Amino acid sequence: MKRYLTIGLIALFALSFSVCDDGNGGGGDDEPTVVTLRNITLTLPATGVTPVATITATAQYTGVVAWTVTPATGETPNTTPITTPFLPDTSYTARITLTRTTGFTFFGVDEDDDFTIANAPTGTTVTNAEGAANTIVVTAVFPKTAVSGPVDVSAIGGIALPRGGNDPAATVNTGTSQFTATIAWSLGGIALATDAKFAEPNEYTATLTLTAATGRTFNGVPPNFFTVAGARSVSNPAGSGPTITVTVLFFPALPAGAVAVTDKEIIFTPFPVAATPTGPASITGSSTQFNGTVTWVPDDTNFVQGRTYYAEVLLTSLTHNLAGLAANFFTIKDAPPNTTTNYDSNTRILTINFPQVGPPPGPTLQSVSVAADPSGTLTLDGTPPTATTTLTATIVPASLTGVNYEWYSNDSPTTTGGTIEQTGVSATYAPEFDAVDTYYFYVIASAGGVSRTSTVVTIDVED
């Protein structure tokens, strides 16, 4: 009996030794190591980010995360994990269950034993339960997520421009996730009927009500912050709260099939010249595709020597589309050197930047006219029969000096394609005729780089 009892005790001791690697920290060569890695890496809560339910695994453990909204003081703790994106201005709690890998144990890890969360924001608190053999629970409470802040996207997209016969847009795809928009159309302050269609050349107004997305606000948005491509003007008050009203005035509605402007060259008057009036300025094109109104900046009464001016030209058209044109689309005919242009298709404003105004110029050749003496019908006389007249050029201003005159004859009453008969500083030319016919003459006067052409003088010669 004594021998059997001794054998049983020996067997019991051997059995207990053989199961020492169960994670409880027993002795022997295979004894597991107590986990030493205390810094846990996980996806931190941030507004709009979707919760991630696992941690970054380490050689010592893996882990799963259950995210809940942190209850307010006195509230019942939340137990249902969330999977939707984190909300702004909200505190979240992560319940992290760590599971040991082979060769490690949590047995021996004390309660609140200095676990941390990698890159956690200031104010995060981390606690842990006492470690068990295979698992441990770590709880991290994070401070409130950030409010995303004010809306900072100014461009409102998704509004089709008014075109004759088209239906007004009923919805707006704003092109941003920061806000949504509803739209209401009016004409002259009167709301459009639900079945109304655009008609040219009416100028329509769209009133937009913008609603900020979750985490966004219009607080801090300045007045007239928003833009709409192709609109004449866009206005809004200073932002306050989750909604804001934006008023959009459009250019006159074009025909549904309106084509783009092709007329690139603009004739502009006046160019800045010292001591001359700034206005009224005007623009024309080589066609009737558009019109324009000019505003000078600065708005002096007369151009001032040494000052730089630019002209803002608001282009309008009832027949052609002024949208979508390149910034350098337009050119200015005979503009002073170093003049530049910039066209904004959204506002329809062409900016013409002129060089610095130089000193006042001297007298400039304004015009030239021609008179014949004798004039009208001449009679051939003498042997051989001839007739003569004297053509005299008169310039404005008469005091201008250094004028050159080119006298031309022609076969038709036009000032192109003539034959030069005399050139020089003489303001007179005396042609001689020896045959019955009708003769045509004109003169081109030039001074200071400026040339002016007279009208045609007709001389009839008879027997």
List the domains of the chain with CATH numbers.
32-146 (no CATH), 149-250 (no CATH), 260-353 (no CATH), 367-462 (2.60.40.2470)
For residue 36, name the pLDDT band (cuts at 50, 70, 90): very high
Q: Express each pLDDT in 45-86 by its tens digit.
A: 987 788 999 999 999 999 999 999 999 888 888 888 999 988
Q: What's the mean pLDDT in 439-454?
A: 93
Q: Express each pLDDT in 379-419 by its tens digit.
A: 999 889 999 999 999 999 998 999 999 999 999 999 999 99
Distance, CA of 345 to CA of 293 (rounded, Å) = 16
pLDDT of residue 287: 66
Contact 142, 120 (CB under 8 A): yes
Average pLDDT, the chain: 88
Q: Express each pLDDT in 228-260 by its tens digit.
A: 988 889 999 999 888 999 999 998 888 877 888
CA distances from 249 to 161, 207, 227, 228, 252 (A): 11, 9, 11, 10, 9
Q: Express each pLDDT in 289-331 by its tens digit.
A: 888 889 999 999 999 999 999 999 988 888 888 888 899 999 9
pLDDT of residue 126: 96
- Residue 354 or 283, more confident: 354
pLDDT of residue 16: 42
pLDDT of residue 13: 41
Q: What's the mean pLDDT in 141-154?
A: 86
Please list the residues that pair with 95 across neighbouring strands.
66, 139
pLDDT of residue 9: 40
pLDDT of residue 236: 97
Paired sense of beta strands 259-260 and 320-321, if any: parallel
Least confident residue range of 35-44, 136-145, 267-276, 425-434: 267-276
